[in-house]
Chains A and B, each alone.
Chain A
Amino acid sequence: MEISYEDLLQIMRHELGLAASPAALEKGPVLMVIRLPRIVLGILAGASLGLSGAALQGLFRNPLAEPGLIGISSGAALFATATIVLGNSILSGFSEMTGYYGLMLAAFAGAGLCAFAVYRMAVSRGRAVVALLLLAGIAINALSGAFTGMLTYLSTNEQLRSITFWMLGSLGGASWQTVTALLPFTIVPLLLLPLLARSLNAFSLGEQQAFHLGVRTGRVKRSVLLLSTMAVGATVAVSGVIGFIGLVIPHILRMGVGADHRLILPGSALLGAIVLLLSDLFSRTIVAPAELPIGIVTAVVGCPLFIYIIFRERGKNYI
């Protein structure tokens, strides 16, 4: 359904109780119940992915870091797949209890559990070793990938379709309920992560150097990991795995404004939201009335951009 700017104004007036109009009665619900929550969801999800990606790249001192690296996405995928495949058999109790939200709850739990496992493995003598975090992340990702593969192998055709669609991501599940469920998990990281900008700048000098500058390195590591897991875990739970936003957005910004996290962190949230909204617009209009999974759009746009960045930075010896 097409909603013109005029309709939009009428609907707004109608919703504010200023004037009643027939067009608003007809098109109002489409905007208010279907499209608006989807837009809000896109903003929250895009901002969370962009911001977490930027913060994790800063923490890991690695331009290839992204939220998926510490097991968030693969953990969510494993638990979501388990819910889809085993929902009618072993996990039927869980499915009955949680109903519509079962998949989201499972995905969020999986994201949190795997990220926590990665963190625990990387702690040595009470300190999280960043290089170990990377290795543990790879190991956990591979392991959950294997289990996910096993469940996929066991799945029926219909389940396989659900799994595939979930893995490709979509904002199609948006409703005010999902937005309300997502809000607390994303708003806290969105407000708190930018406060760590200076600490992350200092981290780029090295962890020891950051400590010499008075940064409480342990606290910064725990905060970034916890807040990113919260934001991305909740996002993945609601919208499935949406790749490349967390990886590419901070890079695009750095080409424009430099490396300072005081600009990069809020900027990545903003740009992430914008890009995800545009991708969603594209994904639901290009093959209308069907929808292209949004993960395909972000990857198809994101990969060439990323390759372009690699080519551009190749001579500068820091990737």
Chain B
Amino acid sequence: MIAVRNLSAGKRLAGKMLVKKLNMQVMGGEMLAVVGANGAGKTTLLRLLCSELEPEEGEIMLYGKPLGAYRPEELSRKRAVLSQHNTISLSFAVEELVLMGRYPHFARQPGRDDMLAVRNAMEETGITHLRGRAYNTLSGGEQQRVQLARVLAQVSDVRGGCLFLDEPTVGLDLLHQQQTLALARKMADRGYCVVSILHDLNLAGRYADKVLVMKQGEAIAFGDPLDVLNCEVIHQAFNIQVKLMPCEDFRCPLVVPIS
């Protein structure tokens, strides 16, 4: 579980706070979608949550312990991160690359459970047929799914681990967008704490338990998507007029831009 209290950061990096006095909490078994316009501080927040940046004010607690108190190795066995940009410099085979997700768990040679985690992750992301291919010969969407498989393999046998996803659906086709988020949802249902940056409000409403709306580094709304994703909040965050259209198959109404 993750608890963020009064979190601010960015002054050292950018000269002004990119995340300002932010409060939020995600429990195990929950999926949080972070939404907001470009430059709202979503990625900075995610980088803070995965300990890439240090908080300048406030604190982040992971399982009741300050994030800064974890050693990198310890952290790598608890949480996995899917970054937005994944270019690799050398051409690894797909299976080798997914196996890198298991590096935190084995010292020299991968054990049977490591290979099992790799196999499961490749199946869940639908890349088993690509296992022997060189990563650099894959399409952008396929590469994205390989990275997702690596990230899943990293925490697949960690009870109540955390999963941080930075725009996991970018570059994916319609089917794989749905599959990726269904997978994230499934991980949450299995007890993981999932935090994902999303641009598509409809995807956020459909898959997330909680939505955090950010604007200029501040949280302007946080809570159940049904309460949070309304016309005023969306207008405030994105500066666009939208219409909410109820849809009988979904809990949340669809968000449709009208101007």
Contact = CB atoms under 8 A, between A and B. Distances in A.
With a 10 A CB-CB cut-off, give which of B73, B83, B103 has the most chain A CB atoms: B103
Contacts of B87: 206
A258 B81 CA distance: 26
Contacts of B79: 212
Contacts of B91: 258-259, 316, 318
Interface residues of B, number: 33
B104 A214 contact: yes
Nearest to A65: B89
Contact of B72 (A205, A206, A215): A215
A266 B130 CA distance: 28
B92 to A, nearest CB: 5
B252 interface: no
A178 interface: no
A213 B76 contact: yes
Interface in B104-141: 104, 134, 136-137
A316 B136 contact: yes
Given A202-B100, A209-B83, A213-B103, A317 B92 contact: no
B72 A211 contact: yes
Given A209-B83, A211-B52, A318-B136, A204 B90 contact: yes
A259 B86 CA distance: 17
* Chain A interface, DSSP helix/strand/loop, else mixed: loop
A173 interface: no
Contacts of B88: 204-206
B38 to A, nearest CB: 20
Contacts of A211: 52, 72
Contacts of A208: 52, 81, 83
A317 B72 CA distance: 33
Contact of A61 (B73, B74, B89, B136): B89
B54 to A, nearest CB: 11
B90 to A, nearest CB: 4
Contact of B90 (A209, A215, A254): A254
Given A204-B89, A316-B91, A212 B50 contact: yes
B83 A214 contact: no
Contacts of A63: 89-90
Contacts of A213: 76, 100-101, 103-104, 154
A161 interface: no
Contacts of A215: 72, 103
Contacts of B97: 205
Interface in B205-257: none
Contact of A205 (B50, B77, B100, B134): B100
A59 B104 CA distance: 19
A201 B98 CA distance: 12
B187 interface: no
B142 to A, nearest CB: 14
A198 B137 CA distance: 23
A318 B91 CA distance: 8
Given A206-B86, A213-B104, 5 more contacts: A58-B90, A125-B12, A212-B52, A213-B103, A214-B77
Interface of B: 12, 50, 52, 72-77, 79-81, 83, 85-93, 96-97, 100-101, 103-104, 134, 136-137, 150, 154
26 contacts: A62-B89, A198-B103, A201-B100, A201-B103, A205-B150, A206-B83, A206-B85, A208-B52, A208-B81, A208-B83, A209-B81, A209-B83, A211-B72, A212-B80, A213-B103, A214-B77, A216-B72, A254-B90, A258-B91, A259-B91, A316-B91, A316-B134, A316-B137, A317-B136, A318-B91, A318-B136
A-B complex: 4 closest residue pairs judged by Cβ atoms: A214-B76, A61-B89, A259-B90, A214-B73
